[in-house]
Amino acid sequence: MSRKYFGTDGVRGRVGDHPITPQFVMHLGYAAGKVLATAEHSCGERPAVLIGKDTRISGYMLESALEAGLIAAGIDVYLAGPIPTPAVAYLTRALRLQAGVVISASHNPFEDNGIKFFSGSGTKLPDAVELAIEDELDKPMQTNSSDGLGKAKRIDDAVGRYIEFCKSTFPADMDLRGLKIVVDCAHGATYHIAGHVFHELGADVVTIGAQPNGKNINDGYGATKPQNLQKAVVEHKADIGLALDGDGDRLIMVDADGYLYDGDQLLYVIAKHRQSIGKMMGGVVGTLMTNLAFEHAMRRLDIPFARAKVGDRYVMEVLQQKGWQLGGENSGHILCLDKHSTGDGIVSALQVLEALRSSKQTLAQAAQDLVMYPQILINVRVSGKAAELLEHPAVQTASDEAERMLNGKGRVLLRPSGTEPLLRVMVEGEDGVLVKQCAEKIAAVVKGIAT
């Protein structure tokens, strides 16, 4: 079924434009509350929902709107304040609540915001529940009578609880003493958390991007803007650096020389370590954008590999279908389901650090046998539906010809954007010159048809 409001990661948009308005978000809270209130509760108590947010200035407004809508529907609300997305997933599960709500637009600029939901088990809401909420949104709000309203309370120890949870995912007989780490918090939801986790495990920590003012989230810092992290690692003569995004579920790392490592490379380090100690349960799930070199590396390690659609939601679906534990995206979303129910940048970093401490290797050494293939991505703007161009004979011919030229040592991926009128042309392979040539040729054919 088509969705009116929910995308692959909740409801998102520019603040002040529909649907990210206080009126709509209050209605969204009410609709979600009505759907949740239909569940049976053996204890006879009201359903309860946790609300967390990142550091955007609009979070105050949207938090109040959500709180009002949920309470109007008879739901009790727990307010956690600024806290990472994975912390909401953890606390929802730990406190045995019916759902968790995050107010965040992840790595987007501060002018954007969004609402995403977690189930009581700390995973993204099933499609059926999101569709039920959309159905409820088509109905008018009818506030419960006064004796049927919910209540709100603030969780004062949310940050401390989550810090202890993160530390628990690192081996109890191991520490980070002697390691100097630069942590970039993107002026986001981990600003008061990430540094403490690594410091309490023994590391010498330098924290940057940890002065949020409501408007500087992801601005020049974080996983999508790692240049300041690279510079800081070299300046402070640190052993390693890590960058999180605005809501704390994405991770990029930097070695002592300032070299950048993306999600594919970090996932490789974790998978290789687990395989070496006999703890690789099943295989690894990547996405359509996962570098072909990673797939070949998994084959060398005799680790099964599968691709999902782009989006950590779809990685999770394939992991659950196969009963595997490890997956992720090259953007830095990494899932370790034996440690957490969702992607978590801090927890993922701890899994990489565990691999390095255990093997007595640097990040550069641990990742050196994964040589990434050149990958070219060209976004072609189209006037109509990008998906229809995939069926055009000229586009198919150009794609088939590129595949023949790559001769099994590369691949072609044509993918319509889910948010813009773009067709994404991606080509990767061992020969960088050939990859560039193939990508440009396909893009030229698409442009000729689309204009």
Which of 179, 157, 154, 201 minimizes the C-alpha distance to 346? 201
pLDDT of residue 42: 39
The Cα 251–Cα 222 span in angstroms is 9
pLDDT of residue 98: 93
Is 341 part of the annotated catalytic residue set?
no
Q: Which residue has the tokens 């539906």?
A: 385
Pairing relation of β-strands 251-255 and 260-261?
antiparallel
pLDDT of residue 420: 74
Exposure string of 155-168, with b = 16+ CB inside 10 Å and e = fewer, is beebbebbbebbbe
The Cα 323–Cα 281 span in angstroms is 9
pLDDT digits (tens, 9 = 90+) for 317-350: 999 999 999 999 999 999 999 999 999 999 999 9
- What is the amino acid identity at position 136? E
What lies within 8 Å, CB to CB, of 172 at 6+ separation is none
- Parse the chain into domains and list their residue ranges: 11-158, 176-260, 262-367, 375-450
pLDDT digits (tens, 9 = 90+) for 242-280: 999 999 999 999 999 999 999 999 999 999 999 999 999
pLDDT digits (tens, 9 = 90+) for 16-53: 999 999 999 999 999 999 998 775 443 557 899 999 99
Fold of 375-450: TATA-Binding Protein (3.30.310)
pLDDT digits (tens, 9 = 90+) for 100-134: 999 999 999 999 999 999 999 999 888 889 999 99
Instruction: Tell me which CATH code domain 11-158 carries.
Output: 3.40.120.10
Instruction: Tell me which CATH code domain 176-260 carries.
Output: 3.40.120.10
- What's domain 262-367's superfamily in CATH? Alpha-D-Glucose-1,6-Bisphosphate, subunit A, domain 3 (3.40.120.10)
Which of 106, 119, 331, 399 is labelled catalytic? 106
The 8-class DSSP code of residue 125 comes to P
pLDDT digits (tens, 9 = 90+) for 199-208: 999 999 999 9
The 8 Å CB, 24+ separation contacts for 134-139 are: 134/3, 134/4, 134/5, 134/6, 134/31, 136/30, 136/31, 136/32, 136/34, 136/35, 137/4, 137/5, 137/27, 137/28, 137/31, 139/31
- Indicate the pLDDT class of residue 419, thresholds 50, 70 and 90: low
Domains 176-260 and 375-450 share a fold: no
Average pLDDT, the chain: 95
